[in-house]
Amino acid sequence: MSKSALITGITGQDGSYLAELLLEKGYTVHGLVRRSSTFSTERIDHIYRDPHEKTQMYLHYGDLTDGQALTNLTLDVEPDEIYNLGAQSHVRVSFDQPVYTLQTVGVGALNVLEAARLLNKRKPVRVYQASSSEMFGDVIETPQKETTPFRPQSPYACAKVYAFHQTINYRESYDLFACNGILFNHESERRGETFVTRKITRAAGRIKMGLQKKLYLGNLDAKRDWGYAKDYVKAMWLILQQEQPEDFVIATGETQTVRSFLELVFQQLDLDYRDYVEIDPRYFRPAEVELLLGDPSKAKEKLGWTAETDLRELARIMTEHDLELARREAHAENYVTSK
Ligand code: NAP
Ligand code: G4F
């Protein structure tokens, strides 16, 4: 019998790659989708709508903050695995919306665990919690590993710390197979356009095509351990295939500044970023996480997982993709003005 999974946050960057991976593995995939006034399924339309593909994918309306509906859905579809990827995932935004962020990230995770606890009485279920390197915050040691204490620096990170501990609490209190993946930043051509890497590759493509003149950014000195989202969803799956439930750091083991990423991207397009980038204090945060660098040795040893894509390659993939997007935008604009 093939396995089934429930993914919250299936319309997001990671949710879309994970859905692809699980479908390839023969899973039946159920996804939780928020109702909005416009469609939010752009990242998964290619796997959901293609009538020639025999995909076993089902979407259900719901919201992480609606625990009752989430429990009903979980008991109804009886997934073997639940991946809780849904979140208000933007750190800067969490300073503007701290309560909402706690509700989706913190209470949302608790709602998932409660639903899983009830299902677990009927049949075994495994839960993956999308924990974050942001929890290390104002880092106490470098590189950061599974045992590094947390010093969260944002409402988002505080909410993730809460969810992290509840995941362990449910594992220890109810014998639930629940695991945290502590993932360092991971990006892709599907990354939301307000996260810094995608903001940069989108702007660089548009600047190259003459569609944009300036790029406004915040702190260029922050350092991040950036990997490729496609590689990272493989780790999520591996974490739930272990014999014992455990928590894992998932990272590349390399760190670079935002400025270095800028340089990589603009150089690829034969541009000098200094001609286009201006600093806008609006993008500074009340508290900044200056340095993140993960130690992925446990994942390598126990999961056999390592990051396959380095930063240069990641920048190339994203830059090429976004240059093509800008080309299409430019052609559409020319078409309209020539009509
Ligand atoms: P993302 O692209 O922002 O996707 C977030 C997903 O959560 C979207 O599908 C969104 O739905 C959904 N969502 C938001 N609020 C919700 C709610 N109240 N109820 C149900 N669904 C809701 O995030 P991502 O980059 O894929 O990250 C996936 C998870 O990993 C998140 O929990 C994030 O915090 C965590 N994480 C990410 C990284 C990273 O570098 N990407 C690193 C560590 C941890 P809509 O499409 O309707 O907005
Ligand atoms: O791309 P960012 O917004 O990602 P951040 O804050 O590291 O959070 C991401 O990674 C976390 C894992 O560590 C996830 F948990 C979280 O959900 C999210 O996916 O910002 C990266 C760095 C920051 O230091 C920020 O201050 O880039 C700096 N930055 C500089 N200018 C900017 C900008 N960030 C954004 N978003 N926009 C700017 O204009």
For residues 284-309, give the mean pLDDT.
98
Q: What is the distance between the alpha carbons of residues 155 and 88, in angstroms, rounded to a whole number?
A: 11
Please check the confidence at residue 136 and state whether its pLDDT lies above 60: yes
Q: How confident is the model at residue 292 (pLDDT cuts 50, 70, 90)?
A: very high
What is the secondary structure of 133-193 as a DSSP string? GGGG-S-SSSSB-TTPPP---SHHHHHHHHHHHHHHHHHHHH--EEEEEEEPPEE-TTS-T
Q: What is the distance between the alpha carbons of residues 263 and 204, in angstroms, rounded to a whole number?
A: 11
Task: Report, as residue numbers or ranges, the catalytic residues.
Answer: 132, 134, 156
Mutate to test the pocket of ligand 1, among 11, 89, 196, 249 (most ligand atoms within 8 A of CB): 89
DSSP-assigned letter for residue 43: T
Q: What is the distance between the alpha carbons of residues 132 and 337, in angstroms, rounded to a whole number?
A: 46
Mutate to test the pocket of ligand 1, among 85, 97, 191 (most ligand atoms within 8 A of CB): 85
Domains of the chain listed by start with CATH number: 4-188+226-250 (3.40.50.720), 196-222+255-290+309-338 (3.90.25.10)
Q: What was the pLDDT predicted at 337?
A: 66
Please check the confidence at residue 52 and state whether its pLDDT lies above 90: no
Q: What was the pLDDT predicted at 49?
A: 62
Q: How many angstroms is it from 86 CA to the middle of ligand 1?
A: 4
List all residues whose CB is within 6 A of at least one atom of ligand 1.
Answer: 8-9, 11-15, 32, 34, 36, 40, 63-65, 85-89, 104, 130, 132, 183, 185-186, 192
C-alpha distances out from residue 240 to 5, 59, 105, 237, 270, Å = 11, 22, 20, 5, 43
Q: Please, what is the average pLDDT of the chain?
A: 96
Percent of the chain past pLDDT 70, that is, above it, reads 96
Q: What was the pLDDT predicted at 48?
A: 78
DSSP-assigned letter for residue 301: I
Q: What angle do CA 239, 140, 105 make, to 5 degrees?
A: 50
Q: What was the pLDDT predicted at 333?
A: 76
Whether 163 is in the pocket of ligand 2, judged by its Cβ within 6 Å, is no
Q: What was the pLDDT predicted at 155?
A: 98
- Dump pLDDT digits (tens) for 92-112: 999 999 999 999 999 999 999
Please check the confidence at residue 50 and state whether its pLDDT lies above 60: no
- Dump pLDDT digits (tens) for 309-328: 999 999 999 999 999 999 99
Query: Which one of the ligands is nearest to 128 CA?
Result: 1
- Dump pLDDT digits (tens) for 165-224: 999 999 999 999 999 999 999 999 999 999 999 999 999 999 999 999 999 999 999 999
Please check the confidence at residue 41 and state whether its pLDDT lies above 70: yes
DSSP-assigned letter for residue 291: B
Whether 257 is in the pocket of ligand 2, judged by its Cβ within 6 Å, is no
DSSP-assigned letter for residue 123: S
Q: What is the distance between the alpha carbons of residues 279 and 256, in angstroms, rounded to a whole number?
A: 19
Q: What was the pLDDT predicted at 336?
A: 64
Q: How confident is the model at residue 334 (pLDDT cuts 50, 70, 90)?
A: confident
For residues 152-169, give the mean pLDDT.
98
For residues 111-130, give the mean pLDDT.
98
Q: How confident is the model at residue 25 (pLDDT cuts 50, 70, 90)?
A: very high
Q: Report the SS3 class of residue 260.
A: helix
